[in-house]
């Protein structure tokens, strides 16, 4: 039995198949540009057993009571680089990159705060780090092996954002538009769009762009193989019905 289990890791964790250093994909793009869809398609098509996804949203700073009141009035700016604890995000991503498992805060968009419990993210072969400001901080950029900017028409992003915030984040139409016009749109122009210069690949039309996603997946597979990842062996163990995530 070539499977090695270690304490603190889930039982399916097969060190034989784990790379010494995971491949980190940074995914940046405006709010509701399709980052999550692109990430999910990459994960699905990669066919690699261990892919972890980390979101910059998990690292929104904890608000003071005053800031919280402002957030409830849609007057707090969540679309500014200072709204995130980028140092914490970088230290967590660094640990993941070292193959360690990490505790990550769970962010609740309904309460504008962190939930009491944290979630555990295990070391992986591929880590996807996504967020509106994913490329805004050098420390985070330096940890990324490939940077992908997800682009989408601004009208499409606003339409999606309205739908999502009303149905999933318990917001009302007027509030979403107020936040969008005051903070979200200016922030895209000022902080997000300029970071496209750091991207290796720009994906127009977000999650619908299957050709771009295919190209990304091919590149990641090649990189993993160069780092010693054995797709054939992994597929074999997968088909032998070993318990994989
Ligand atoms: O998922 P997405 O990338 O769109 O998440 C980022 C957006 O979440 C930001 O544009 C910000 O305006 C919004 N946000 C919010 N309420 C919070 C925190 C962030 O509407 N409490």
Q: Which DSSP string do the residues of 97-116 spell out, in sequence order?
A: HTT--EEEEEEETTTTEEEE
Q: Cβ of 62: how many Cβ atoms within 10 Å?
A: 11
pLDDT band at 227 (very low <50, low <70, confident <90, very high): confident
Is there an atom of ligand 1 within 6 Å of 41 CB? no
Q: Using the mean position of ligand 1's atoms as its centre, give its distance from the Cα of residue 31 in Å.
A: 7
Q: Give the per-residue pLDDT at 38.
A: 97
The interface pTM score, or ipTM, of the predicted complex is: 0.98
State if pTM tops 0.95: no
Closest-CA residue to 108 (of 71, 157, 163)? 71
What are 9-50's pLDDT values in tens digits?
A: 444 444 455 677 899 999 999 999 999 999 999 999 998 888
Q: Using the mean position of ligand 1's atoms as its centre, give its distance from the Cα of residue 126 in Å.
A: 25
Of 57, 63, 177, the one to substitute when testing ligand 1's pocket (max ligand atoms within 8 A of C-beta) is 57
d(CA 245, CA 39): 17
d(CA 20, CA 98): 7
Cα 21 to its chain centre, rounded Å, is 18
d(CA 30, CA 16): 38
Is there an atom of ligand 1 within 6 Å of 112 CB? yes
More confident residue, 3 or 32: 32
d(CA 172, CA 175): 5
């Amino acid at each position: 039995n070539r499977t090695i289990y270690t304490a603190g890791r889930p039982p399916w964790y097969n060190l034989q198949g784990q790379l010494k250093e995971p491949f980190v994909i940074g995914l940046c793009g405006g709010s509701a540009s399709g980052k999550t869809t692109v990430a999910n398609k990459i994960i699905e098509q990669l066919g690699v057993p261990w892919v972890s996804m980390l979101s910059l949203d998990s690292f929104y700073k904890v608000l003071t009571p005053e800031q919280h009141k402002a957030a409830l009035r849609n007057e707090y700016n969540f679309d500014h680089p200072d709204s995130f604890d980028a140092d914490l995000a970088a230290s967590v991503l660094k640990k993941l990159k070292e193959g360690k498992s990490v505790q990550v805060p769970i962010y609740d968009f309904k309460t504008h705060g962190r939930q009491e419990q944290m979630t555990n993210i295990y070391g992986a072969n591929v880590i996807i780090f996504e967020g509106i400001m994913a490329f805004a901080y050098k420390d985070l950029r330096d940890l990324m092996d490939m940077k992908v900017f997800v682009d989408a028409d601004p009208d499409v992003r606003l339409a999606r954002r309205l739908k999502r915030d009303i149905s999933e984040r318990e917001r009302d139409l007027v509030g979403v538009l107020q936040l969008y016009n005051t903070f979200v749109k200016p922030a895209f122009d000022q902080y997000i769009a300029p970071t496209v210069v750091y991207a290796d690949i720009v994906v127009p039309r977000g999650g619908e762009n299957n050709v771009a996603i295919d190209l990304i997946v091919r590149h990641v597979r090649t990189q993993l193989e160069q780092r010693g990842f054995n797709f054939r062996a992994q597929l074999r163990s997968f088909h032998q019905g070993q318990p994989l995530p």
